[in-house]
Homo-oligomer: A and B are copies of this chain.
Amino acid sequence: MFVSYNKVQRAVLETTLHLIIEKELQATSMSLIAKKSGVSTGSIYHYFDSKEAIINELYRGIVKFNGEQVLDGFFTDEPIRIRLERAWEKLIRVSLEYPQGFQFIEQYSFSPYIRAEIKQMSYDAGWCGPLDKLYQEAIDAKVFKDHLDPHVMVQMHYGSLVYVVKGALNGQLEINDELIRQLIQSCWDSVALNKEAT
């Protein structure tokens, strides 16, 4: 994560992410970030305009990273089902592997602290558009129902997976390969025209 940043920026972003998840935004003071990251406040302000800028950059960086993970191997000419499964599986795996990034996006995607412009930029560069298109292909190929807008389907499936991941991070349930397979199957079934054998 944050590979495209320099050493100081990376230290600040990583520290900030840890602190925000651990202690809440308002308890994450600049001096605490400075102390924990080993970067002086002065230097932090050399690389970031403000605390708000750090948080927004954090948001942008995580969405970008997650998007790259999810879309890794997406643009092939394999069958729809393969591509869809791969994307959702990668989403689950990156969420579990980088739970703090996942939590941060979940908590702050609605927050007014993240500027609309950053949200839009992140959305545009994310996996949402490509997946919308794939779902449209599935509808056109009469693989998926045509009653629902493809974007609604994507939101639904994203939501299902996100909430199962949340349950796992909360300790309510455990995720293994078999469950991942079944979750994606359920997503497929929820919008498939003909129920296929698992």
Contact = CB atoms under 8 A, between A and B. Distances in A.
Interface of A: 21-26, 103, 106-108, 110-113, 145, 147-149, 151-153, 155-164, 166-167, 172-173, 179, 182-183, 186-187, 189-192, 195, 198
Majority SS of interface residues in chain A? helix
A21 to B, nearest CB: 8
Contact of A107 (B111, B155, B162): B111
A155 B166 contact: yes
15 contacts: A21-B112, A24-B111, A24-B113, A25-B26, A26-B113, A147-B182, A148-B179, A152-B179, A156-B186, A159-B162, A159-B163, A159-B166, A160-B190, A162-B163, A186-B191
Contact of A151 (B111, B158, B160, B172): B172
A183 B158 CA distance: 14
Given A25-B25, A159-B164, 16 more contacts: A24-B25, A26-B113, A103-B110, A107-B110, A148-B186, A151-B167, A152-B164, A152-B173, A155-B160, A156-B164, A159-B160, A159-B161, A187-B190, A189-B190, A190-B190, A195-B195
